[in-house]
Every structure is written in structure tokens, then in C-alpha cells.
Structure 1
Amino acid sequence: MTKNDDSAYQLREFIYLDDESINGHLSSLGVGLQTSRTKTAEDENESESHFSATIPTPWTNIGGGGRHRSTDREGTEQQIDITVPYRFQELLRQIDGISEIKDPDIEDVERGDVIEISGTVKPMSLFRLELAAGAINTLTEESKKAGEVITDDNSGEENVSEEEIDASEAFIEMSENVIGNRVPVRLDTDRGHSYATVLKRNYLRVPTKHAFAQAREYTLFGRVEEKIERGKKWHPVDMMRLTGEFAHDAEEGIDDFNKGLQEAAKGMDVILQEEDLTLMGPANVIYPIGLFW
């Protein structure tokens, strides 16, 4: 699928935009990194003057007059910053000139292919629990600020127990230690295909709790990083995938890790299904460049 001018130029609200990746891809295509451009405007100022003259003669005075118009042109220059979304648009234009942007839902793709795909996005694994833990903490903090105790109408007990608060804080710390700067999400399309991608926190343009608090439809732009064969599993946590490459009992260890997450999630009243923990092939893992709606 080749992006034409009509589809390339459209309104986009970016959730994620990898500045470094955009600059790197533009450079690899021979496009210099432009940080600003100059816009020149020219103003015209018109002035008019009147003149008259009289020449005496023996018979009479001969007079005459007229008007004179002059135009002055004044040029002004304005420096316009080149933003990351602007460079993203330039990247689309450059790719459109030499290649095609594929829709992996309907086209065969290989590693390195540039793709754009839309679907429902939701967080995976520890990242999903991290968001839930953050929500519990926020709820507790807001109730304390208001000087109120949130109670269950039926039981008269607090909705958020001390154990749940402790568990939520532990999970936030655990998530930061285990997944660090890279947060995994999955994208499911209407055609029943699934994709996974790992986003870098520092390139997210909105808070995670706003972007992924609930499953929402986004468009993912990036490149195919890995193809998952039929029957194979992809684990969204980098540390677990690394363990799977070297440990003899890796599969058993990963299963135990996932079961531990599910048990802990129950204590936070969060449901973790199998699709939240692994991506089953056939599927594609996408290197993300932009995520938007």
C-alpha cells in the first residue's frame, strides 16, 4: 500500500513519537537534519506626492502639476522551528518517493518493511499492572486530599485496603526495575490479527495513564522487527525473552513468572488473561516510530 498525498497529509494526535528514530531514518535516506527554516515575507508601502509649478511669461503664467507615486518593498524573515511531527511528515514523504508503506493485515511483510496498522491497543504484562497500581495510588491520594474515606456501601469497609496500597506500590517499583524504560503494548485488528510493540517511556507525548487506561484504537507506524511463527510465543518483558535465549528451563521459568503475575493481579482486583502475558504466533513485533489517532 503506497501512501499518496491525500492520505499522508492528515490530522494526527501523537501518543508516541520516536525523535531519534525519525532523525536516523531521514539521515539514512540522505535528508539532512533540519531544525528550523526561514519564511520570508515582503511588504509593499506605496507613497504619493503632489507637485505643481508656475512659469511666468509676458502674456500669462503657465502652470502645471501632477502626482508622483513610489513603492518601497520591505522584506522580513521569520525563523520557524521544525518540530518532530513535521519531520515525521517529511519521513512519510521521503518513503513514499522510494518505497511503499504496507498494511500487514492484508499484505505479506518481512523484517524491515515499513508498516502502518490500526487497531485496539492495550498494555501487556507488568505494564498493565503498573497502570492499575498507579490508579489505586491516585485514588487513595485524592481521597486523602479531600479528607474523605471511600467506603463500600454494602460492607462499610474501605474499598482500598492497606494491603492493596502496599501491593500497588510494590508493583510500581517492580515494574520500574524489570521493564524500565520500555513498556509493552499489543494491537489487535478487526481482521483478528495481533501485533506487539515496545514503547520507550521518554518518547511518550502523553501520560501513560491517559493513553492506556482503557483499550483504545490507535494507528501504529513503524517497521517489522520480528516475525513470530505459528505456535511460537513472544514474551513482552525484555528480561524474560533474554532468559529464554540462555536458560535451559526458560519456558518453565517464564510460565512461573506469568502465574505469579496473575496471582498478584488478583490481589489488586485486576484480571490478566493469557493474551495480556504473551503474543502467540503467527504475529509480528513492530519497532515503533509513531503511535497516533
Structure 2
Amino acid sequence: MLKQRVITAVILLSLFLLALFLLPTLGWAALVMILVMQGSLEWAHLSKLSKKSVHAYLWLTLAVMLGIVFLDTQYPGQLESLHMLIYGMSALLWLILVPLWLIAHWQVRQPLLMMPIGWMLLIPTGVAMMDLRMQNPWWLLGVMGLVWMADIAAYFSGRKFGKHKLAPNISPGKTWEGVFGALLGVTVYVLLIVCTNDLFTNYAALSGMLLASWGWVGLAVIGDLFESAIKRQAGVKDSGALLPGHGGLLDRIDALTSTLPLAALGILLQRVA
């Protein structure tokens, strides 16, 4: 299983890097829309939508994404308020709604109520992937790399040292040792970035990056736990079978949905301040 996961991850990373640095803007937007649509399809199945509702949900999702891309193309750099609203919905979801959801162990059985949650989950993620890449592809890769480092470090430290369960009623496999491993992993990641950019003497930047990276680990854990809770509610192990050894697309981007939009929001706020 581990070998299969590694092979799939290497192939996906190679294709992602090629797309990130070589695709034109509209090509990247098309790729992002495909990812959002696949995620929406998996979310629809987890939400137990009827076949008719799935089709309606996907068409509505596509219409929203096409509308955002069209407006961004027609009015480049002039839609900060729209993007602020999109990222604000994501902040509402991840900083308030999801923590309450996990603490209260909510079970949402009404499929139609799950539809807007899916939009709040996936549309801001897609917009963030386009915004961050437009600002600088390295920014997008840097944030995603931090999440990947946290995931890898948590996986191996959890397997090696994991004894204390993080949320046994939601995801029995996750441990506090895995979380601490993730914190250590992103600390090393940030120090490597600082070293390569000669920022060691800038103590304010270094401390700010470390604090932000630790906060991002917390957001990644929340995203991971939320998807686990939704899968448990749906009675499935994986969100799909798209990626050999990894499950569905949502299984791979769960932590990104809770981190990319807030990273994009932070950059947008700095830009308009």
C-alpha cells in the first residue's frame, strides 16, 4: 500500500509541477475547474444526493466557476470585493462552523443542506489556486508544500510513535504524536525556506513564518478531521477511488481546502490594506 501511495504521489506531483509552471492562465483555470468538479462529484456522493440532484449540483458548480473565471478575465485585478466574499465564506466555514460541527458531532442527514457546505469547501479552494498562482506560482507551491510536509510528517510520526488518539470518534488513526510530528516537519520546512532566502537575520519574519506555519497545521488538521467526519457519516472509507492508494480527490485535498483559501485571504488583505 505504501509503495502504491508513493508511486501515485510522485506521478501526481510531477504532473502538478508541469501544469503549475507551464500552463497558460486559462489552461490553469480549466484544470482547476476540473478539480473542483471532481471534488463536487465526490461531495455529492458523500452527501447522498439523488442522481437528479447530483446533475443539478454539478451544473450549478460549473456555472459558478465559469462565472468567476469570466469576470476575472474581463476585469483582471478589479474584483477584490468578490474574492474577499468568497474567502470570507471559507473563513466562516473553517474558523467557526466546522469546529462547532466537530465538537458537537453534528450529523447532517438532509442532502440539500450539504450542497452549500460543499460550495463553501471547494469553490474558495479553486479560486485560491487561481489567485495564488497568478500572484506567484511559488506562493501556491509554498503553501501546498507546507501542507504536504505536515501530512507526510504526521503520517510517519503517527505510525512510529502514535499512542494517544486525537479524535477517536471521528478518525481513530490520527494521534497527537502525528500532530506533533507535523509541527516539527513544518518547522524544518520553514527553516529551509528561511535558509535559502537568507532571512535568518530577520527575526520578525522568521517568527512570523513559524507561527503562521503552526497555525496552518491546525487548519490542516481541522480540514482532515472534517472530511473524516463526513466520510464516517456517509459510511465510507474513502471519498472515491480516483487515485490508487489514496482514494478520491477529496482524500488528497482535504487539508488544502482549509488552508489555501485563508492563505489567499491573508495575501489579499495585505494587498488592499
Choose between structure 1 and 2: higher helix proportion: 2
Question: Which category describes the TM-score, using the shorter chain as reference length?
Answer: under 0.3
More strand by share: 1
**What TM-score does the superposition give when structure 1 sets the normalisation length?**
0.24
Bigger radius of gyration among the two:
1
